Amino acid sequence: MTALLYTLGVVIFVVAILLSIGLHELGHMIPAKKFGGKVTQYFIGFGPTVWSKQVGETEYGVKAIPLGGYVKIVGMLPPGADEHAEQVGVDPGGAPVYRVRKSNTGMFTQLVSDARAAEWETISPDDAERLFYKMPSWKKVVVMAGGPTVNLVIAFGIFAAVFASYGNPNDVRTTTTVGAISPCVVPYEESGRVCEEGDDPTPAVTAGLQEGDEIVGFNGTEITDWRELQGLIRANDSGAAEITVVRDGRQQTLTTNTRVEARPSDDPADDPTVTEEVGFLGVTPRSEFVEGGPIYTLRQMGDMTVRTVEAIAQLPVKVYGVARAIVGLEERDPESPMSIVGGGRLAGETAAHEEFPVTEKVVFLLLLIAGFNFFIGMFNFIPLLPLDGGHIAGALYEAVRRGFARLRRRPDPGYVDVARLLPIAYVMGVLMLVMGVVLIVGDLVVPLSPYS
């Protein structure tokens, strides 16, 4: 049964991520086609083709390695200023085939030239007005931002549903409801031991407090916040305590005397090893997850954005830490990044864990899927090729440059040549590949655990 549940968890996670990838690529393809662009391929995965089908001018398919996806939009790279496209033959259907020719040489120049050549080999005269680089800048932004935006929308939908129905496990609120009652007074230095004969009952026991009681008043002061109640108790020393509670929908008043005990300060900034003489009642509050609607979810995602940007900035260092953990030089940081393989393991272990209630398993899987979508969306907005953000940055720069030219009544500077940034794209691609391999190996050798 455990193996079955583990497999089920992995399958659910992998299928959800593949669906997210498919929707991401639709976020690019649909607006590209809507704006008149030509999309020749729509694939989920990389490597050898497992299945494909031609529908109109687009080939839809699945590849063997489910670690991403892509759509092929014709005309992403314009001819360079010192290049030209010339006909070099015809395809089997009789349509002319063009290739970019370039006279310069050099490693980076050749890389750029080869990329342009591959781009133009599939372009026919009928495609002249359907090339991506000829689209208005705002349309380019919409097409390239469509993919990661879909991921963010998926994340928002999942987060909003969980936060509204279950609450946010990362936003815990302490209530004024009694969660637990200490049966006896145990000196602070002996905290954790069970009650022994001769131990005095706590003031909470003497008062007759019960789990589930909602404390609404203390010595005549209305209570709405646990920290407020905690402050009143600590300041009460050994004085009489009149506690107003709501139990089973009815309000009643209980009486007792708090007592002085050596306890640590309730200020998180203070040294927990230093104690002070304060009033003591012997109750622990009940905590609950904060619930919220769409506005609350947007605020939470705003906070996530800040943390994600910080995490992306530290990503190379974090991945290096994972590499050191792989070879046994240090323990793996529980906050380190993980690959889709690690996500699958977490999903499987959570689904198979016998002590997790079903509801918590479902919530964990949903938040895991939402978290991956959020990170994928944010990561793709990085303004560097080959990421979507690199094309967005190029389109925005093109719009600004052309706008300034119009204001200054100068000639149109033309399209921004993103191909010149391909060397950066190749370097980024290699770095992303290396980091991906390190994380996959790390998730196999030193995996993170949902309950470690």
- State the Cα–Cα distance between residues 161 and 163, nearest whole angstrom: 6
DSSP 8-state class, residue 342:
H
Backbone angles phi, psi at 46, to 5 degrees: -130, 170
- 51 strand-pairing partners: 62
Q: Are 224 and 176 in contact (CB under 8 A)?
A: yes
DSSP 8-state class, residue 201:
B
Q: Are 41 and 53 in contact (CB under 8 A)?
A: no
Q: Are 48 and 23 in contact (CB under 8 A)?
A: no
Chain CA centroid to CA 83, Å:
42
Catalytic residue among 25, 261, 349, 398: 25
Burial class for 189, CB neighbours closer than 10 Å (0-12, 13-18, 19+): exposed
- Per-residue CA distances from 264 to 161, 190, 274 (Å): 39, 13, 6
The answer to whether residue 25 is catalytic is: yes
Quick count: other Cβ atoms within 10 Å of Cβ 78? 22
- State the Cα–Cα distance between residues 202 and 181, nearest whole angstrom: 8
The closest of 404, 399, 431 to 415, measured between CA atoms, is 399
Q: Which two tokens stand for residue 414?
A: 């033309």
Chain CA centroid to CA 320, Å:
20
- State the Cα–Cα distance between residues 48 and 128, nearest whole angstrom: 31
What are the catalytic residues? 25
